């Protein structure tokens, strides 16, 4: 299907000066990478470029020389800084052709909302000669599909809310016939262990990996991922067995540190375990400030097992809401093993939950002392077996410390639920 | 300083197969872009490439032809899939030279933690011939700085916790002498208005923009940013005045919808206003599930004005914690104007706060009905003036609905605090 041997790559170009600005997080590429994996393909390159015509042309020209499948998004809007149409047309040496029907649709869209179309929207009715129009029910910019001597070029709108449905409904059905072979992969998610500990444990695996299998590890504060991936050969079942075998060996080596092998997040894992065991949860947070409850409630259906969360930031709230003795706070300090225990016990009893989780610590940047430095967090878990508290010392910025505290709390809960499951 | 006219760009290459995997969010580039802006430079291109040697070589070779300043990160570790050193050396046709001292430092690092260095760490002691070594106090991989005929190539470790300090402490001090001119910019952050409303209001501005000024808008659910940027010319003060003038005109056109002009987030803005007015806040969340408290407590020092947050997910908790009458929930439903009002009032009174904020709604994906669809959220604000509730209908996924609910709650608080400030 693909005629040119020199064009062996798949790449994505995102246009838009704002994408190169500090603070911007781009999500389309992650989405496209996931869709491509469904077809057994890997995204080879992703390039972000500004709105400037010359720069878009330069990047597109480079891509056009090396890749058989090119996605380019953004710059299809009505404004002056929307120049992708023009850049691609110039490199391909094709004209832009005016399509009356497109303008009519855009006008309709405006009128249905009681608005008047602006003259600048006329720009959006120009289509690269020879392109198939990809209709955009969620915006004014239509996409385009070009097939030129085995090379496929797809122009997409930039906003995720427009790009994603277009990719799902129009682009991938058209790409499916090009699918050649499958791609197998597995993701192991780990918490409660550092990257070097993990590397040390799994280093024996490397020599056992089939040549075409890739193993990559990815560490962030509180979380490590091991990703295995492999294109299937003639015998897909055999490849699948091999992948499972390696996965099992890693699981054995890392014991109970692996919390999911199917891409699930820790909050999803504990959600399933709580549901399966018909147990209810409540939490009392100080330093994590609501992040624990937020992560738990990000899971659809969490209202079935999550009763309530108390963010007792002030000492008064700890006393009033959770029954933590005032003298205890005075004697030991709000950041202490004893207060963490009292918080977990207090919220469990108050909410009538099976498990109570608590966090108290110093998220920083201020508030640290020699004795109790920034990053010191006590995490409590109360159950019918009593209360357990762990002392942790996390590194990083305020938000990273908050995150690691919740990761540890959820992992203590996971291990407790595993213990309960075993005991049954 | 820069000798080649054809090499006029600045680009960043991030290596690592995991960066092209679904679900991964890359943050180094955003950080680098911010640092570059401090020097008045713009990042022109950012490319993400896998760990494969041939692909890194291809991408680096392309960069090397067009850019005078190249950052390349990742692939400096000890493992088999760390191939950036080799790729760059091969394209530059330079040898890799073994440095005894580096190996000694790595060994020391391991020993200080009671660990033994692995033989694979030896790889990290190889440096591209002619490169200046950038020491890495936060990891084993040293960075490298190469200056070749006016072109600067900087190799950096991939993990943000190692890259950022190296960039701050070693790379930027070395880049500063290359700074030529300044870059002015302003960011206006807006909530409570859609992109089309904003476009419509500010369209008159476009014709007034100086030719070298760029205006871009960036919309996400619940938030719109307008970014103005301009390189300074001979008269920097005049440019600064022009930027301020345009900024003021936009502010006038958008009235009180602009919540910050200095890049601050809404939670930071309300934090400052609460501090200035010596007011205390408490919140009661249902559908936002802790995200509101989490955002508020992401701000350092928030313990000075944030008393507590209650995530009353169950109806029982709403009754017990907030004193919402059980009959009211039965009669109107937990998602109702009346319950939102009772929650805001309840938490304000209980916590002894000046302001109580509440959210109750249907975050989805389940739980929606014809009458009360997914995305319906009531937001309450209680103050000494009484209670105000707004009814909102948000679009998007569960987490987007949660986010928009907190954005609206924080904005209602901002407007209330502005009203209070005016009345004084």
Residue A212 has pLDDT above 60, yes or no: yes
> Which single residue is written with the structure tokens 């003259």?
A119
Tell me the C-alpha to C-alpha distance, in Å, between residue B139 and each of B113, B143, B227: 13, 10, 36
Which of A35-49, B189-203, B361-375 is modeled with the greatest confidence? B361-375
Q: Is the peptide bond before B365 cis (omega within 30 degrees of 0)?
A: yes
Average pLDDT over residues B110-120: 78
Tally helices (H) and strands (E) across chain B: 14, 17
Interface list for A 244-273 with B (CB within 8 A): 263
Single out the residue of A51, A46, A14, A21 nearest to residue A33, CA to CA. A46
pLDDT at B1: 42
Q: Which residue has the higher pLDDT, B118 or A381?
A: A381
DSSP at A303: G
Per-residue pLDDT band for A117 (boundaries 50, 70, 90) equals confident
The dihedrals phi and psi of B184, each to the nearest 5 degrees, come to: -100, 145
| pLDDT at position A46 over 70 | yes
Task: Note whether ipTM > 0.90 here.
Answer: no
Pairing of strands B183-190, B132-134: unpaired
Both tokens of residue B259?
């919540």
Average pLDDT over residues B186-198: 87
Establish if A216 touches chain B: CB-CB under 8 angstroms: yes
- What is the per-residue pLDDT for A2? 45
Q: For residue A80, what is the DSSP state?
A: T
Residue to test with chain B: of A8, A22, A357, most B Cβ within 10 A: A22
The pLDDT of residue A1: 42
Helices (H), A218-311: 236-254, 266-276, 291-297
Q: Which residue of A has its CA nearest to B21?
A: A33
Handedness of CA B9, B12, B15, B18 (dihedral sign): negative
Give the gap in angstroms from C-alpha B216 to the nearest C-alpha of chain A.
Answer: 7
Q: What is the mean pLDDT of chain A?
A: 91
> Average pLDDT for residues A72-79, to the nearest whole number?
89
Tell me the per-residue pLDDT of A230-288, one tens digit each, with 9 for 90 and over: 888 888 899 999 999 999 999 999 989 999 998 899 999 999 999 999 999 999 999 99
DSSP string covering B9-71: EEEEEEE-GGGGSTT----HHHHHHHHHHHTT----EEEEE-S-HHHHHHHHHHHHHHEEEEE
Would you state the structure tokens that stand for residue A237, as one six-digit string? 């079942």
Please say if the pLDDT value at position B317 is more than 60.
Answer: yes
pLDDT (tens digit per residue) in B285-294: 999 999 999 9
**Beta-carbon contacts of residue A211 (< 8 Å; ≥ 6 apart):** none
User: Looking at residue A405, what is its pLDDT?
Assistant: 97
Q: Does A194 touch chain B (CB under 8 A)?
A: no
pLDDT in tens, A354-383: 999 999 999 999 999 999 999 999 999 999
Helix/strand/coil for A38: helix
**CA–CA min distance B306, chain A (Å):** 7
Lowest mean pLDDT among A68-82, A257-271, B339-353: A68-82
pLDDT digits (tens, 9 = 90+) for B365-412: 999 999 999 999 999 999 999 999 999 999 888 998 999 999 999 999
Q: A289, B297: Cβ pair inside 8 Å?
A: yes
pLDDT for residue A5: 60
- Show Cβ contacts of residue B266 under 8 Å, excluding neighbours closer than 6 positions: B189, B191, B259, B260, B295, B407, B410, B411, B414
Q: Are strands A376-383 and A355-361 parallel, antiparallel or unpaired?
A: antiparallel
Q: Which of residues 117-176 of B touch A (CB under 8 A)?
A: 118, 159, 161
User: Is pLDDT above 50 for A3?
Assistant: no
Tokens 């590397």: give the residue: A199
Residues A13-17 have a mean pLDDT of 92
A293 with B290: Cβ contact below 8 A: yes
Q: Which of A11-20, A362-371, B90-99, B223-232 shows the lowest mean pLDDT across its residues? A: B223-232
Q: What is the pLDDT of residue A79?
A: 76
Q: Does B398 touch chain A (CB under 8 A)?
A: yes
Mean residue pLDDT of chain B comes to: 91
Judge whether B201 is closer than 8 Å to chain A, CB to CB.
Answer: no
Query: What number of H helices and E strands is found in chain A?
Result: 14, 17
Task: Please answer whether residues B85 and B126 qualify as being in contact, where contact means their C-beta atoms are separated by less than 8 angstroms.
Answer: yes
Q: Give the DSSP per-residue string, A334-364.
A: SSSHHHHHHHHHHHHHHHT-SEEEEEEE--S
For A19, name the nearest residue in chain B, comparing CA atoms only. Answer: B30
Token pair, residue B375, equals 């995305």
Contact indicator for B45, B67 with CB cutoff of 8 Å: yes
Classify residue B319 by its DSSP letter.
H
Burial state string for A64-84 with b = 16 or more CB within 10 A and e = fewer than 16 = bebbbbbbbbbbbbbbebbbb
Q: Which of A108-122, A390-404, B220-234 has the highest mean pLDDT?
A: A390-404
B23 confidence band (pLDDT: 50, 70, 90): low
What's the pLDDT at A4?
52
- Which tokens go with A9? 């790559």
Confidence label for A23 from pLDDT (cuts 50, 70 and 90)? low
Interchain CB contacts (distance < 8 Å): A and B: 243
Q: Is B424 exposed, middle or buried (0-12, 13-18, 19+ CB in 10 A)?
A: exposed
Query: What is the set of domains in chain B, with CATH numbers?
Result: 9-178 (3.40.980.10), 183-260 (3.30.70.2860), 266-423 (3.90.950.20)
What is the model's pLDDT at position B2?
Answer: 45
What pLDDT, on a 0 to 100 scale, did the predictor assign at position B4? 52
Give the rounded percent of residues in chain A with a pLDDT score beyond 90: 66
Question: How confident is the model over A119-162, as pLDDT tens digits?
Answer: 778 888 999 999 999 999 888 889 999 999 989 999 999 988 89
| A116 touches B at CB < 8 Å | no
pLDDT of residue B5: 59
DSSP A131: P
pLDDT for B411: 98
In this model, does residue B231 exceed pLDDT 90?
A: no
């Amino acid at each position: 299907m693909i005629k040119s041997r020199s064009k062996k790559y798949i790449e994505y170009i995102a246009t838009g000066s704002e994408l190169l600005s500090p603070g911007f997080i781009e999500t389309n590429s992650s989405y496209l990478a996931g869709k491509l994996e469904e077809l057994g393909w890997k995204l080879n390159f992703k390039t972000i470029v500004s709105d400037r015509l010359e720069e878009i042309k330069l990047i597109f020209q480079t891509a056009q020389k090396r890749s058989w499948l090119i996605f380019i998004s953004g710059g299809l809007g009505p404004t002056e800084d929307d120049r992708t149409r023009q850049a691609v047309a110039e490199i391909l040496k094709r004209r832009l052709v005016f399509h009356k029907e497109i303008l009519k649709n855009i006008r309709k869209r405006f009128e249905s909302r009681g608005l008047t179309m602006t003259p600048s929207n006329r720009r959006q009715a120009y289509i690269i000669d020879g392109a198939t129009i990809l209709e955009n029910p969620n915006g004014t910019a239509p996409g385009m599909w070009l097939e030129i001597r085995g090379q496929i070029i797809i122009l997409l709108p930039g906003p995720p809310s427009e790009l994603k449905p277009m990719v799902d409904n129009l682009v991938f059905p058209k790409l499916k016939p090009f699918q050649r072979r499958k791609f197998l992969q597995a993701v192991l998610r780990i918490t409660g262990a550092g990257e070097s500990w993990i590397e040390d444990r799994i280093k024996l695996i490397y020599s056992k990996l089939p040549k075409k299998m890739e193993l990559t590890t990815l560490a962030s504060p509180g979380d490590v991922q091991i990703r295995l991936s492999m294109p299937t050969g003639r015998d897909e079942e055999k490849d699948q067995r091999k992948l499972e075998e390696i996965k099992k060996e890693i699981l054995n080596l890392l014991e109970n540190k692996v919390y999911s092998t199917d891409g699930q997040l820790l909050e999803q894992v504990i959600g399933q375990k709580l549901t399966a065991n018909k147990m209810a949860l409540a939490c009392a947070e100080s330093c994590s400030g609501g992040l624990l409850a937020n992560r738990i409630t990000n899971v659809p259906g969490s209202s079935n097992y999550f009763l309530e969360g108390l963010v007792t930031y002030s000492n008064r709230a700890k006393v009033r809401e959770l029954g933590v003795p005032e003298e205890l706070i005075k004697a030991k300090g709000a950041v202490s093993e004893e207060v963490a225990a009292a918080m977990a016990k207090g919220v469990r009893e108050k909410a009538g939950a099976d498990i109570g989780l608590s966090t108290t610590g110093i998220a920083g940047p201020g508030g640290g002392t020699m004795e109790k430095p920034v990053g010191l967090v006590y995490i409590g878990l109360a159950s019918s077996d009593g209360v357990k508290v762990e002392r942790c010392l996390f590194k990083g910025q305020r938000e990273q410390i908050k995150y690691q505290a919740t990761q540890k709390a959820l992992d203590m809960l996971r291990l407790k639920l595993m213990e309960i499951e075993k005991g049954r």
